[in-house]
Amino acid sequence: MANILESDIKFLPGVGPKKAELLNKELGIFTFRDLLYFFPFRYIDRSRIYSISELAPSMAYIQVRGKIVSVMEAGNTPANKRLVAILKDPTGTMELIFFKGIKWVKEKLKPGSEFIVFGKPSEFNGTINMVHPELSLTTAEAIFGGSPIMGVYSSTEKLKNSGLGNKAFAKLQYTLIEKYLSGVPETLPEHIMRRKGLTPLQTALRNIHFPINEHELLKAQTRLKYEELFYLQLSLLKQKSIRTSKSGGLVFKRVGDAFNKCYSSLPFPLTGAQKRVIKEMRADMCSGRQMNRLLQGDVGSGKTLVALLTALIAIDNGYQACIMAPTEVLAQQHFKGISKFLSATDVKTGLLTGSTKTKERKLLAESLKSGELDILVGTHALIEDSVEFRNLGLAIIDEQHRFGVDQRSKLWSKSEITPHILVMTATPIPRTLAMTLYGDLDVSVIDELPPGRKPIQTIHATEAQRARIYAFMKQQIKAGRQIFIVYPLIKESEKMDYKNLEEGYMNIIEEFKAPEYVTAVVHGKQKNEDKAYDMDLFAKGKAHILVATSVIEVGVDVPNASVMIIESAERFGLSQLHQLRGRVGRGSEKSYCILMTGYKLSKESRQRIDLMCQTQDGFELAEADLRMRGPGDLEGTSQSGLAMDLHIANLGRDSQIMEDSRRLAQEILDTDPLLEKPENRVLREQLQLLRKVGKEAKDYSQIS
Ligand code: ADP
Ligand code: MG
């Protein structure tokens, strides 16, 4: 079935080869479909005409009707040469200003002629003006299809300069809709549309571009969002059901010595949440299906121990386990922590990182191959080809978002039967996003912190309070506590960032003089030995202060540290701030997080800082982050395989539609797993089509 929407965009009347090339390059529009599904990103109500006296510089784009009173050229340098026209309506006058196309505009703006001008009001020297407004003689000219609400399409300078401004763009859409919309097939089955009260596709597409009123616009948006999220969920769930039905998993029925000895030697009881999560994973590993589980838990919730106990189940059943961490520091930390918990058992563990010496590497490789080694902890070094397990039964990946997808799948392929997979993340991911990012993973959440943790008091401060902060630090050190000071480090501004850290460090050792005070420093430019040395100094309580870049973000566990000072906190994202703050508050002492910022903050930065001061709940912060920034920017998501580009739905704002459409998708698959029923034929075809045009949700959690 040849679909008209697959036609090359150059064949649309008004486009042609040259404009087609621009549309390809600038907007990724290649076909009729691409254009039709390129929706306005906002709308302007053009049914309303404002009077000049009501205009304010805070307003968005609006229109005014008036008469040209006078036109004159102003400015004496090429840079500020401009044309200024005075427009008058019964309520007042305003200036229209043009820097470009002066000759052409002058011809058009004859004094005495009447115009509708459309633009954004601004103010200069107490006079309201509009720069480069759109000019039209009548309103009707600007309106296609009788729509009083005008869509605004995102565009680029190049497109605008090549005659593809908003008006021209809308005209193309109009042509497309008038000529071809009637041939566009419906993409949702009748029964879904009826049940959910959704507008037919053709109506929705017309109204998304040329809404006849607000109500119809809303209906169009709802329909298109529903469809988008529904197909996303349908394809994820379908892939999941295929995987779970065909891939058998190792069965770990036994709970034996390793588990029991470790468990009974723990210095504290597990939290309820830890117990529950271990049970969930145990059930997975007994089910005969391969486990693919995401373990979420706020920083400090005790994920490492849960992971270890799960690994011990694998070991009790005669298999090996590995734990992969994103950084060397963290791998070491895991190794130490785990070894401590294992002292009562005879489980053998090894550590493999980039800096493991060749000789030791060899020994590790041998004992891994022979099966003598039970647990291998490490960094990326684990996925090198030379690393061979005898029988890997469980692969645990910590701080998953730092690993690329390919790296993960390399780990899977290390054993004949796919091992069980446990992915741990301390970045709380809102449910809606988790459903999509990890569409086919099961999710466990540790939603409880070990008892006795005191809340962390979070304070916002600026340079003016520096002396008071120093005094506070001294008081804390005197009380036996330790202090983190963290500097941002971003690739783009690396040089400057290192300079800031350097200066900060100098100030600290100046203020906190040795030998009374010991200050350690850790950053990416150090040699591994130096880093390890300083880290160790701090971890063992021999240094009072640790100055570091955000490398400590993931995982360092120093319960005696009670103060976290974050420099230039406005430059960190919410989830990063939260991760950093989680480094303190692990002991029984009251802890503090001090967010240092510049005096002037953007609105968003202030929101972030305020939120941090208000709440310590990682999920609440993550939800807020998602709302504020959208999922594209959420830390980690770029790497974690959000392989769909949503045209209209927003994972932050449209979570209800997402959940509803997921339920519906599941319900349909439950009764018709292969989508073979006649009423679901459209669904099967649509999934195939989405795959063909590369818009299918990719399932990266699957083994490739
Ligand atoms: P996460 O990796 O989730 O950030 P960790 O596993 O590093 O958290 O645990 C943080 C600290 O809490 C560690 O020192 C760990 O030994 C300790 N811990 C873990 N579980 C418990 C528990 N049930 N009770 C008390 N302390 C715990
Ligand atoms: Mg951890």
pLDDT band at residue 653 using 50, 70 and 90 as cut-offs: confident
The answer to whether 97 touches 129, Cβ cutoff 8 Å, is: yes
pLDDT at residue 700, rounded to an integer: 35
Which strand (E) or helix (H) includes residue 180? helix 166-180
> For the residues 226-248, what does the mean pLDDT come to?
80
Under DSSP, the state recorded for 270 is P
Measured from the Cα of 586, ligand 1's closest atom is 11
Structure-token pair, residue 272: 């309820």
pLDDT at 631 over 60: no
Going from the Cα of 150 to the center of ligand 2, the distance in angstroms, rounded, reads 51
268 CB within 6 A, ligand 1: yes
Provide the H-helix boundaries in 187-302. 190-196, 201-209, 214-246, 257-264, 272-286
Q: Look at residue 414 and give its three-state secondary structure.
A: coil
Residue 115 dihedral angles phi and psi, to the nearest 5° = -140, 155
Between residues 157 and 696, the one the model is more confident about: 157
Q: Assess contact for 450 and 321: CB atoms under 8 A.
A: no
How much is the mean pLDDT over the chain? 85
How far away, in angstroms, is 193 Cα from ligand 2 center?
46
Q: Is the CB of 206 under 6 A from ligand 1?
A: no
Q: What integer pLDDT is reported at residue 72 of this predicted model?
A: 92
Going from the N-terminus, what domains does the chain have, and what CATH number goes with each?
42-177 (2.40.50.140), 214-235+644-703 (no CATH), 257-446 (3.40.50.300), 457-633 (3.40.50.300)
Our answer on whether the CB atom of 124 is closer than 6 Å to any ligand 1 atom is no
Q: Whose CA is nearest to atom 17 of ligand 1?
A: 302
Question: Ligand 1: which residue has its CA nearest to atom 19?
Answer: 302
pLDDT band of residue 288 (cuts 50, 70, 90) is confident
- Cα(674)–Cα(238) distance, rounded to whole angstroms? 8
DSSP tag of 181: G
Confidence of residue 410 (pLDDT cuts 50, 70, 90): low
Closest Cα to residue 25, out of 209, 171, 155, 153?
155
Q: Is 702 helix (H, G, I), strand (E, B) or coil?
A: coil
Question: Given pLDDT bands bounded at 50, 70 and 90, which one contains residue 415?
Answer: low
Report the b/e string of 228-262 with b at 16+ CB within 10 A: bbbbbbbbbbbbbbebeeeeebbebeeeeebbebb
Reported as a pLDDT band with limits 50, 70 and 90, residue 634 is: very low
- From 298, 399, 557, mutation site for ligand 1 pocket: most ligand atoms within 8 A of C-beta: 557
At 600 the three-state DSSP class reads coil
Reported as a pLDDT band with limits 50, 70 and 90, residue 423 is: confident
Query: Which of 328-332, 333-337, 463-467, 636-640 is the least confident region?
Result: 636-640
Confidence of residue 191 (pLDDT cuts 50, 70, 90): very high
User: Phi and psi (nearest 5°) for 71?
Assistant: -135, 130
Give the Å distance between the CA of 393 and the centre of ligand 1: 24
* Contact residues for 436 (Cβ-Cβ < 8 A; gap 6+): 232, 233, 236, 642, 644, 651, 658, 697
Q: Is the pTM of this model over 0.75?
A: no
What digits encode the pLDDT tens for the residues 508-525?
A: 999 999 999 999 998 878
Task: Determine whether the shortest distance from the Cβ of 408 to ligand 1 is under 6 A.
Answer: no
With beta carbons less than 8 A apart as the criterion, state whether 155 and 166 touch. yes
How much is the pLDDT for 616?
87
Supply angle C-alpha 189, 191, 197, rounded to 5.
Answer: 100
Long-range contacts at 428-432 (CB < 8 A, ≥ 24 apart): 428/296, 428/298, 428/575, 428/618, 428/619, 428/621, 428/622, 429/296, 429/622, 429/634, 430/619, 430/622, 430/623, 430/626, 430/652, 430/655, 431/655, 431/659, 432/626, 432/651, 432/652, 432/655, 432/658, 432/659
pLDDT at 368 over 60: yes
**How confident is residue 132, by pLDDT bands cut at 50, 70 and 90?**
confident
Confidence of residue 144 (pLDDT cuts 50, 70, 90): low
Task: Output 159 or 368, whichever has higher pLDDT.
Answer: 368
**Segment 374-403 mean pLDDT:** 85
pLDDT of the residue at 431: 65
Residue showing tokens 């000529």: 179
Cβ-in-10-Å burial (0-12, 13-18, 19+) of 173 comes to: buried
Length, in residues, of the chain: 704
d(CA 371, CA 364): 10
